[in-house]
Amino acid sequence: MAEQKKINIELRDEEAEGVYANFAVITHSPAEFVVDFIRVLPGTKKSRVHARVVMAPQNIKAFAHALAGNISKYEEKHGEIKSVSNEQQDKQIGFQ
């Protein structure tokens, strides 16, 4: 069995606070995926990107796999997360 390397990860105060987002836009090129995290507030006609994460295709696939695993663990403990349909989501953010 291969020895697992330990990574020392620093979390600065600026990042520790986190960024709230309720909408994400994902784009990609052959070399990278770009995920823009957006906060859409009711009654506003304009929103902005609050964070952008750029990842290599291999890393985004590993991230998607880890996210799916964590969603399963969450639902086992707290119950099913109800999905919002595209139509409901569009209404929530003001699209007709």
Asked if the structure places residue 53 within a domain, the reply is yes
Beta bridge partners of 34: 27, 54
The pLDDT score that the predictor gives to residue 18 is 94
Residue 22 binned pLDDT confidence (cut-offs 50, 70, 90):
very high
Residue 95 belongs to a domain: no
Q: Residue 71: inside a domain, yes or no?
A: yes
Does the residue 47 lie in any domain? yes
- Please give the pLDDT value at position 95: 45
Q: Domain count of the chain?
A: 1
Q: Note whether residue 10 is domain-resident.
A: no
- pLDDT of 90: 56
30 domain-assigned:
yes
Q: Which structural domain, as residue segments, surrounds residue 44?
A: 19-81
Instruction: Give the per-residue pLDDT at 83.
Output: 85
User: pLDDT digit string (tens) for 27-78?
Assistant: 999 999 999 999 999 999 999 999 999 999 999 999 999 999 999 999 999 9
The set of residues, in sequence order, having a beta carbon less than 8 Å from that of 40 and lying 6+ positions away, is 22, 23, 47, 92, 93, 94
For residue 3, the model assigns a pLDDT of: 73
Q: Tell me whether residue 61 is in a domain.
A: yes
Q: Does a structural domain hold residue 12?
A: no
What number is the average pLDDT over the span 21-28?
95
